[in-house]
Amino acid sequence: MKAAQVATAAADLVGGDRKEAYGDVLLGLDRIALMWNGLLAIAGKAPKAPINAHDVAQMMVCMKQARAYTGPMRIDNHIDAAGWSSVAGEAASRIAEAS
């Protein structure tokens, strides 16, 4: 699969029916951040600064990258990493606009 095909597949994922199924991506990432911050606090591992929506998306990129090194090559790991990276960019942009 060529790079442009990976990027197109990622764009189809993040630009498709996800909003209809899950709502606004930033609100969803904010909910995840709240839950992860709570879990880390309960575990006694709260970060110096709370995790935000951008951090969640970046951690999902890392998860997909780690999976790319596990088992046989699966192109969906690369497609998903590209998709999460674009979501992280949107989150960063929207957070910057709000401040």
Hey, what long-range contacts does 8-15 have (CB within 8 A, 24 or more apart)?
9/79, 9/82, 10/79, 10/80, 10/82, 10/83, 10/86, 11/83, 11/86, 13/79, 13/80, 13/83, 14/83, 14/86, 14/87
Q: pLDDT tens digits for 23-67? A: 888 999 999 999 999 999 999 999 999 999 999 999 999 999 999
- The pTM of the full predicted model, rounded to 2 decimals, is 0.89
